Structure formats: C-alpha cells, structure tokens
C-alpha cells in the first residue's frame, strides 16, 4: 500500500489551511527577482490544488494568498501579485468547473483592483454549485479584521432587534465569519521556517494542529504534503480533555 493509500485510509482532515510563505527568499537564493518566486509559488499552488482534489479527495483547502499586512510591500510587487492572481483565476476557471472545485474568496474585495474583483466574482459564480473540493482563497484577508467584521454584524443585528446579546454564543458567532458552513481547520501548515500564524484564521484555529516546515513554498511538494498528513494522523487530538484513564 502506498503512502497515499495509507493516508486516505486513515481518514483525512476535514479542512487544511496553508500559509504559503517563502517565495521571495526562494527567488533571492537563486539570484532571481522576487516576482519569479511568486510565479513559482503559483505553480506550486496549482499542483497542490490538483493533487488535493483529484488524488487525495480533500474536501476543504484554504490558501493564504494575500494578507491585509501585505499592502506594506513595494507597490510594484503588490501590483504584480494582483495581476498574477487574476491571470491564475482566469487560466484555471475551466479546470475548476470541470473538476468540481468550488472557489470561495475570504477578505475585503472592495480594496482589490477592479479587474481582479471581476475575475473573483466570475470564478465564484461559475463554481458555486461544485462540491468536490471547497477551495478558499484568503485574499486581502486578516483574521483580526474578520473578527471585527463579525462583531459589527452582531452589533447591527442587536440594534435591529434580531439578535439578543445572550443569544450570541460561539456557534452563532462562527456563522458570521467567512468560514460559515464549513468545518474549522484541523491542520494548518506554514512553509519557510517561520513559526507563527500571521493573522490567519485566528478564531477558527483554536484547536487546529500546527505544522511548520523549513521548505520554501515553491519547493513544497505533494510528497511532503502526504508526509505531513501522515504525521498529523498520528497525533492524539484531545480538544482540552483527557484520553483513556489519564488523570
């Protein structure tokens, strides 16, 4: 039995989050401009999406593509990233439709360039009925902003009289987040050797298993992904409780 077969037989996580880090360092190490690293990173994302949906059968995958903090990067780099994302969405739209990939975008779309907003609207509308792989792209996303957005929605509902303060429990609050309708991530992976969440799915990650790899994102492979999943399956998840006769 192959590692792929063993991982699938052992039971997959319901939702995996990926913090795709290291494009710039990958390019610099090769004497290339940073944009070459972003191009290589997009190809890695393409391979992972295809592998996760076609061969692995993963149901929910969230990719951290552009954070609210990334606006501090040079304007030319930000512009290149948006053009690259727009090209990627347009290039893969037909494949997403054919492969049953449902694309959802987390984040504040109002701040994105109009051409990218149009492409995002097009792919989400075209794939809304798909259910093989739910692909979430965190774009102009920050978890603190997401939580504030949910708080404001709860406040508006309270003012309108449709929500009582004591009716706002964790389940109700979760329905106000971008991840409404999907499970919290069981596993979050970050590449490049950095050991932090960087404002990614902070509410949803309360009990996620974390894995940090020194591999730079463009070098991340399906084989390493499988190895991480196999290691995740060996962890004992207790969610704050005890197991067996432990006291």
Residue 118 predicted with pLDDT over 60: yes
pLDDT band with cut points at 50, 70 and 90 for residue 247: low
Reading the block at residue 219, the tokens are: 């070098």
What are the DSSP E strand ranges found in 69-129?
Answer: 101-106
Q: What is the pLDDT of residues 158-175, one digit of tens each?
A: 999 999 999 999 999 999
Residue 89 burial by CB count (10 A; 0-12/13-18/19+): exposed, middle or buried? buried
Residue 7 near residue 230, CB atoms below 8 Å: yes
What pLDDT sits at residue 242? Answer: 59
Rg (CA), the chain: 19
Q: What is the pLDDT of residues 209-241, one digit of tens each?
A: 999 999 999 999 999 999 999 999 999 887 776
Q: What is the pLDDT of residues 1-29, one digit of tens each?
A: 899 999 999 999 999 999 999 999 999 99
What pLDDT sits at residue 1? Answer: 86
| Distance from C-alpha of 59 to C-alpha of 135, rounded to nearest angstrom | 8
| Distance from C-alpha of 228 to C-alpha of 20, rounded to nearest angstrom | 15
Domain ranges of the chain: 14-232
Query: Which of 185, 196, 200, 193 lies closest to 232, judged by CA?
Result: 185
Reading the block at residue 11, the tokens are: 């039971």
| Distance from C-alpha of 150 to C-alpha of 219, rounded to nearest angstrom | 36
Mean pLDDT along residues 126-146: 97
What pLDDT sits at residue 246? Answer: 57
What pLDDT sits at residue 238? Answer: 77
| Distance from C-alpha of 73 to C-alpha of 23, rounded to nearest angstrom | 13
What pLDDT sits at residue 237? Answer: 80
| The CATH number of domain 14-232, selected from 1.10.10.410, 3.40.30.10, 3.40.1180.10, 1.20.1250.20 | 3.40.1180.10
| Distance from C-alpha of 200 to C-alpha of 18, rounded to nearest angstrom | 9
What pLDDT sits at residue 22? Answer: 98
Q: Where are the alpha helices (DSSP H) in 100-208?
A: 114-127, 143-160, 170-174
Q: What is the pLDDT of residues 31-46, one digit of tens each?
A: 999 999 999 999 999 9
| Distance from C-alpha of 174 to C-alpha of 151, rounded to nearest angstrom | 11
Residue 135 near residue 96, CB atoms below 8 Å: yes
Active site residues: 21, 70
What pLDDT sits at residue 3? Answer: 96
List residues bridging with 190 in a β-sheet: 19, 212
Tokens 């449709």 found at: 162
Q: Taking all residues of the chain, what is their mean pLDDT, rounded to a whole number?
A: 95
The DSSP secondary structure of 179-243, one letter per residue, reads TTTSPPPSEEEE-TT--S--SSSTTTTTT-EEEE--S-GGG--HHHHHHHHHHHHTS---TTS--
Mean pLDDT along residues 97-122: 96
% of the chain beyond a pLDDT of 70: 97
% of the chain beyond a pLDDT of 90: 94
What pLDDT sits at residue 244? Answer: 58
């Amino acid at each position: 039995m192959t590692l792929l077969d063993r991982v699938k037989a052992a039971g997959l996580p319901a939702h995996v989050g990926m913090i795709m880090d290291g494009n710039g360092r990958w390019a610099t190490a090769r004497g290339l401009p940073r944009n070459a690293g972003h191009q290589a990173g997009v190809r890695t994302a393409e391979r992972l999406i295809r592998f996760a949906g076609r061969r692995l059968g993963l149901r929910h995958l969230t990719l951290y593509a552009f954070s609210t903090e990334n606006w501090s990067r040079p304007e030319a780099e930000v512009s290149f990233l948006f053009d690259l994302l727009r090209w990627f969405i347009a290039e893969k739209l037909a494949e997403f439709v054919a492969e049953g990939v449902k694309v959802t975008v987390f984040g504040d779309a109002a701040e994105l360039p109009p051409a990218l907003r149009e492409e995002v609207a097009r792919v989400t509308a075209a794939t809304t009925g798909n259910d093989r792989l739910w692909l979430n792209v965190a774009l102009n996303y920050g978890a603190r902003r997401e939580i504030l957005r949910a708080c404001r929605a709860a406040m508006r509902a309270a003012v309108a009289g449709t929500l009582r303060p004591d009716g706002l429990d964790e389940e109700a609050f979760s329905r106000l987040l971008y991840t409404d309708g999907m499970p919290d991530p069981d596993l979050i992976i970050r590449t490049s050797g950095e050991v932090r969440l960087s404002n990614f799915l902070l509410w949803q990650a309360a009990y996620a298993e974390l894995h940090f790899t020194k591999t730079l994102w463009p070098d991340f492979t399906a084989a390493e992904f499988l190895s991480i999943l196999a290691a995740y399956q060996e962890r004992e998840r207790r969610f704050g409780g005890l197991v067996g006769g432990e006291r």
